[in-house]
Amino acid sequence: MEFGLWQVWEAGWVPAILRGASITILVGLVSMAAGLVIGIVCGLIKWARIFPLSLLVDAYTSLVRGVPELLIIYLLFFSSVEFVTRVVTAFGYAGVAESGYAFVIAVIAIGAISGAYSTEVVRGALGAIPNGHIEAARALGLPGGRIFRRIIAPQMLRIAVPGINNVWQTTIKDTALVSVVGLQELMRISFIGANSTRHPFIFYLIAAVVYLLITLASQAGFDGIERLLRLRTRK
Amino acid sequence: MMELIHLAVPVLLKGLWVTAALTFVSVLIGSNLGLGLALMRLSSNRLLSGFAKYYSNVFRGTPLLVQIFLFYYGLGQLPLIKDNAALWWVISDGARCAVLALALNTAAYTSEILRGGLMSVPVGLVEAAQACGMSRTLRFRRIEFPLAIRQALPAYGNELILVVKGTSLASTITVLEITGYAKRLMSQTFAIFEIFAIAGVLYLVINLLLIAIIRSIERFLMRHETSSRRVAAAPSSAAS
């Protein structure tokens, strides 16, 4: 049987794929936001070498960046499954929390991974700020909070944009991995489509194209942001 | 606890060899392909450079998991591949298919890294080699490539670690390597954190080993520069 794009459309897969894509983007955005918060806090700790905490941050970033993402997802998923089902059934909500639960695990896993990479980006950006700027601010008697807000943060954000772009691209691609725990995002939908129609080629090809469109669009967006920030600096 | 270690460690060590083999073969193929793609990208032929550019954008813009599934489940559907014995041999086995996907994927990243290295070679050096009458291949072998690889090596080390982590996705297409065995052990023993810790240590050991190898290659390539670099670096650090 011939099975092409038209059959995919006729069988009603297009809305499902679009819904999957929007869940992929949602997981990506929420995880990225969580990752940025982790990255800024941990990056500051690493940069300022706040003693006992910086050891913890070092352990966190080298562990997460050295161990496969899939293994981290398995750890979080399997270790929490039992715990969560016990809690949920104790409150009499068995089955209700299923879908939201996979989303939460996905965000925790992907957020932790993207946080580790963001930490390195933030630390690198902080290191690139000339020391003299901070010394000058201190000499003017600015309080610590205002030095961070007025001197450190604006420069750090500008320097970090290309690195953040890289982390975002990796994050959106990593969301495909949470399909293994059953979250109905783009990859999972394609998997279901491929299995139920027995035409995997077209479904995975569509998934690849949608991911490519997402990464190309965000690349264009980041190019725009970089251009915008460049205008405001003196040559 | 001791029981668990006795049970899990031999199994995961079996997986370690599979992970190492997948990494080694993929890197071997991927680095050569990547070098070819980097050269294509920098060539003045619009067709070649265009192909290399699109290749690298497509492979870097889609998740590795999608590529692996597309190759393993998708390609077998195409009559072109079904009828070709050699291609079918590659596609029909999970491990071979994973190597194919990993090699093509790392080739895209490698080509970007090497392109950066090749572009950093000063034009004057290439012109000097031309003036000496060196042929194109000799120039590449003696001048451009050695300088480019020195520049590219640290970034390539990171890429190698990404390949090691990428081999874990082979477990999704029936290949039992560290992550595949770890998942199986997790669901058998319910000692999830302990299994994760052992598997994680194995990955960290591989990565540390790779970093050490890359560092020693770097030191070997830079052996004539260490003393002059230190002298050059000293005044600038004193000034700041």
B165–chain A Cβ distance below 8 A for any pair: yes
Question: Which of B43, B35, B51, B173 is CA-nearest to residue B100?
Answer: B173
What digits encode the pLDDT tens for the residues B19-41?
999 999 999 999 999 999 999 99
Residue B236 has pLDDT above 50, yes or no: no
Query: Per-residue pLDDT averaged across A115-131, rounded?
Result: 94
Confidence (pLDDT) at A233: 59
Q: Tally C-beta pairs within 8 A across A and B.
A: 118
Cβ–Cβ under 8 Å, residues B23 and B209: no
A201–chain B Cβ distance below 8 A for any pair: yes
Report the alpha-carbon distance of residue A112 to residue B194 in Å, rounded.
Answer: 20
With CB atoms and an 8 Å threshold, state whether B63 touches A191: no
Q: Is residue B238 part of a domain?
A: no
Confidence (pLDDT) at A9: 80
Residue A188 backbone zone (phi > 0: left; psi -120 to 50: alpha; other: beta)? alpha
- Residue A102 belongs to a domain with what CATH number? 1.10.3720.10
Residue B212 lies in domain: 2-223
What digits encode the pLDDT tens for the residues B87-107?
888 888 899 999 999 999 999
What digits encode the pLDDT tens for the residues B126-184?
999 999 999 999 999 999 999 999 999 999 999 999 999 999 999 999 899 999 999 99
Query: Per-residue pLDDT averaged across B99-122, rounded?
Result: 96
| Residue in this structure with the two tokens 């969580």, named with its chain if needed | A34
- Both tokens of B116, joined, read 């950066």
Cβ–Cβ under 8 Å, residues A103 and A183: yes
Confidence band, pLDDT 50/70/90 cuts, at residue B54: very high
With CB atoms and an 8 Å threshold, state whether B73 touches A201: yes
Write the ipTM: 0.88
Q: Is residue B29 part of a domain?
A: yes
Cβ–Cβ under 8 Å, residues B22 and B95: yes
Domains in chain B: how many in total? 1
Contacting A residues, span 77-96, partner chain B, CB-CB under 8 Å: 78-79, 82
Q: What percent of chain A has pLDDT over 70?
A: 93
Q: Is residue B240 part of a domain?
A: no
| Residue in this structure with the two tokens 């890429």, named with its chain if needed | B159
Domains in chain A: how many in total? 1
- Residue B117 belongs to a domain with what CATH number? 1.10.3720.10
Residue A131 lies in domain: 5-231
Distance from CA of B188 to the nearest CA of A (A): 11
Confidence (pLDDT) at B234: 46
Residue B233 has pLDDT above 50, yes or no: no
Cβ–Cβ under 8 Å, residues A133 and A155: yes
Cβ contacts of B194 on chain A, cutoff 8 Å? none
Question: Which of A77, A48, A172, A167 is CA-nearest to residue A116?
Answer: A167
B69–chain A Cβ distance below 8 A for any pair: yes
Report the alpha-carbon distance of residue B176 to residue B163 in Å, rounded.
Answer: 16
Cβ burial, residue B9 (10 Å; 0-12/13-18/19+):
middle
A74–chain B Cβ distance below 8 A for any pair: yes
How far is C-alpha B168 from the geometric centre of its chain's CA atoms?
14
For residue A234, the one-letter residue type is R
